[in-house]
């Protein structure tokens, strides 16, 4: 929970000072955005620790217009990395009846440059995956039906449990399912170079100054049908 003061006052999006916190990841202020600043520094510290393998970042939001749960992911110039990031939401779709892979999209919209998903997608290397998990404020539709089912607290918690179950499937740790051949993240060898805010690594950077933003209007619904 990175917006405790805003949520306490009933603001589901903005902080007490009126900031949409998920637009200030590029340069969060320790005074105006203290929660973002603290979490960002922690993530950088973990990333630069050779003993830590930071493989997933998922921020969770409610969506005010769309139904079901779905994800936003990033676009990368590295085709293999781009395809591998589709694995987790596809596995989640198999585990959660209220999760919609058809509503999941991969984009690099300029307006989303300050989000955690976009910023960290440019900072972290190819062994890491960054998503936003969006879940409807009000209801979901199960495949093959047309009736909307209202979300309840238990339904939200069930989706959370299914996310955890999907991690077991992703890492092939679930003894109840058949071992399927899915691409696994390759662990980083050695200590990564120290973080520098002005230079984000790799040609696939999602940083607004990165080369990859030439295709900012591209919106990919499904990077691969091979998984």
C-alpha to C-alpha distance for 54 and 46, rounded to whole angstroms? 7
Q: In sequence order, which residues have a C-beta less than 8 Å from that of residue 180 and are 6 or more positions away?
A: none
The single residue of 55, 79, 134, 154 carrying the catalytic annotation is 134
Show the tokens assigned to 128: 């890491």
154 is catalytic: no
Residues serving a catalytic function are 134
């Amino acid at each position: 929970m990175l917006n405790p003061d805003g949520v306490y006052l009933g603001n589901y999006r903005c902080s007490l000072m009126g900031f949409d916190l998920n637009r200030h990841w590029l340069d969060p202020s320790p005074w105006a955005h203290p929660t973002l600043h603290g979490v960002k520094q922690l993530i950088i510290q973990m990333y630069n620790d050779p003993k830590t393998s930071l493989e997933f970042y998922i921020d969770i939001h409610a969506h005010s217009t769309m139904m079901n749960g779905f994800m936003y992911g990033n676009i990368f110039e590295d085709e293999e990395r781009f395809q591998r990031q589709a694995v987790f939401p596809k596995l989640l779709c198999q585990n959660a009846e209220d999760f919609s892979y058809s509503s999941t999209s991969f984009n690099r919209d300029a307006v989303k440059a300050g989000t955690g998903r976009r910023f960290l997608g440019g900072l972290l290397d190819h062994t890491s995956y960054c998503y936003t998990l969006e879940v409807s404020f009000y209801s979901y539709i199960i495949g093959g039906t047309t009736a909307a089912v209202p979300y309840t607290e238990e339904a939200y918690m069930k989706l959370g449990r299914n996310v955890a179950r999907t991690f077991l499937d992703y890492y092939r740790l679930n003894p109840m399912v058949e071992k399927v051949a899915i691409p696994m993240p390759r662990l980083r060898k050695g200590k990564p170079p120290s973080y520098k805010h002005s230079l984000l690594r790799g040609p696939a950077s999602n940083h607004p100054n990165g080369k990859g933003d030439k295709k900012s209007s591209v919106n990919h619904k499904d990077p691969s049908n091979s998984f």
